[in-house]
Amino acid sequence: MAQVLVTGGTGFIGSWCIQALLDARHTVRTTVRDLRREPELRSWLHEATPFDDDRLTVVRADLEQPEGWDAAAAGCDFVLHVASPTLRHTPANDDELVVPAREGVLRVLRAARDSGVRRVVLTSAFGAIGIGHPPRSTPFTEQDWTNIDSDIPPYQRSKTLAERAAWQFVKDEGGGLELAAVHPVGVLGPLLGLDDPPSLRLVRRMLEGKVPACPPFGMGFVDVRDVADLHLRAMTNPAAVGERFLATAGHSLRVIDIARILRDRIGERASKAPSRELPVWLARTLSIVNPELRLLRHQLGRDLDVTSAKAEQLLGWRARPIEDTIQDTAESLLAHGIGTKADS
């Protein structure tokens, strides 16, 4: 069994990665920005899986600060770099996200190299692959990169530039450090704790009746538990070295299909889910004044399809049916008292 560092342990993907590592009998060290969250994280994990507390260590490190990273990586065999900077406000310019993401990746990689870590698995995103391209009929693959020369949102730009910096660092300064990257599409699935992950807000808002009509686009979705499984496979499989892996449960799914699956699977409890899709022309018009639609402007009227054939063939990875994931997402939100607020 190995000693594994997971950055961003209280995050949605990070916490599920820790749970999967503990289940696999690894010893885990994880970083948080605020150590006051340690009891909360341990509580989530103990509810999810039995483990001895001495197999989990929680340390403080912030991607925007140099302190703590060497100590966090010391003695580790592998690093799952899941953490990514987030903002609570709309950035005034792209650099508010790009610079912390890129510098944070480099801090983690330097610490990993200097500590003799064998391999880093970087959590990237579909946003580093399929944004800023003209419409196409073929699925996106790991060979594609987001076009940073186009007018794309800051988050997707930050993920793209951070990943490019990671590959360049390993090539130029890695000193034998191995790197693999995981690229989830829209991540759904059950909660471990009481956080409100951004990727679940669409389902939450549908349950609350706050999505009067669905935006007209489709994309891939995947279960957070399968994303964690792919991280572990990329961590240990020799075939993963130097590779990127898309994670999706299947072909592109329209947002209106998510609403339909919610009503089919959980019945009356999803009665507020929308039953119609906005016309493309209307969605584009509304995006001028609606901030949420404005962030989706590159996707409106499109189906952004991807394939996970590479992860399936090289790593033996398989995703569960997305219908099951959507049901589990809704059941978890409702069980945590999330998604039950009245229309407002």
Active site residues: 159
Neighbours of 343 (CB within 10 A): 8
The residue whose two tokens read 């310019």 is 93
Got the DSSP string for 268-322?
Answer: GGGTTS---B--HHHHHHHTTT-HHHHHTTTTTT-EE-B--HHHHHHH---PPPH
DSSP state of 3: E
- What is the per-residue burial (b if ≥16 Cβ within 10 Å, else e) of 69-82? beebbeebbbbbbb
- Asked if 33 contacts 62 with a C-beta cutoff of 8 angstroms, the reply is yes
Provide the β-strand partners of residue 203.
Answer: none
Nearest to 294 by CA among 304, 302, 284, 303: 284
d(C-alpha 227, C-alpha 233), whole Å: 10
What is d(CA 245, CA 102) in angstroms, rounded to the nearest whole number? 20
CB 21 within 8 A of CB 48: no
